[in-house]
Amino acid sequence: MEKLQSNGPMSNARWWTDGELQVCRSLYPDYDLMLAALPTRTREAIRAKCRSPQEQRERHIWKGREIVLLRKLYPKGDWNELRKAFPFASDAKVRAAAKTNGIKGAKSYKSSGDYLIDKIRERCLLMDISMPTLDKMSGTGRYFTRPGWLGAKPNHKAIGRAIKALGGEIEFEWSNLD
C-alpha cells in the first residue's frame, strides 16, 4: 500500500522517496531530465520540490540570546551593526523578527519648523523623555503633547520652562546698534 501525504482534505500527493530526492539533487537544474527520470511526478511537482539551494535556506529559529541582542541593537537603528550581529538574516528578516517580538525602531520627531521646539524634542529623545513627561516636568499643561505651536505663535513661557526642566539655560545677546 502506497503512503499518501496529507496536503489538504482531497490531496493524493505521495511522499517523496530518498531516491527521488537524490535524482532532484543530481540532475538540478535540468527539469527535462528530471521529468524523464521521475515519470510519476509532474513538472510542477518537481519544480516545487527541487528548487535551487539559494531558495531552500533553512528557516532560522531566533534564540533567546539573539532576541535580547536584537532588543539592544534594533532601537539604535545602526544597520551595519545589525548585519554584523545577525549575518544569517537579511534586513527584511531582522525587521520581521523585531516586529514579531514587539521591538520598535529608533524614534524620531518630524521637524516642527521652529528651531527651539526642535532642539527641545531632540534633547528629549537623547534623555528618553516623552512629550507628556516633559509637560509634567515643566508644568506646561499639554503644550508639547498636543503640538500647540503648530499654526500659532510659540508660547515662549512654555518653551522656557521646558528648557529649564531639561537642564538647559536661556541666554541672549544684543546685537550692536552701530
pLDDT tens by residue, the chain, 178 residues: 455 555 555 556 678 888 888 888 888 778 888 889 988 888 888 888 776 554 455 678 889 899 899 888 888 778 889 899 999 888 889 999 988 988 887 777 788 788 888 899 889 888 888 888 999 999 988 888 887 667 678 888 999 999 999 998 888 888 887 6
What is the distance between the alpha carbons of residues 125 and 131, in angstroms, rounded to a whole number? 10
Residue 109 within any structural domain of the chain: no
Q: Is residue 108 part of a domain?
A: no
Asked if 126 and 135 touch (Cβ cutoff 8 Å), the reply is: no
151 within some domain: yes
- Residue 60, helix vs strand vs coil: coil
Residue 119 placed within a domain: yes
Give how many domains the chain has, as a whole number. Answer: 3
155 and 123 part of one domain: yes
In a domain, 107, yes or no: no
Q: What is the DSSP letter of 14?
A: B
Residue 3 lies in a domain: no
55, part of any domain: no
Residue 75 DSSP symbol: G
Handedness of CA 72, 78, 81, 85 (dihedral sign): positive
- For residue 170, being part of any structural domain is answered with no
Same domain? 157 vs 129: yes
Single pTM value for the model: 0.45
Which domain range does residue 160 map to?
115-165
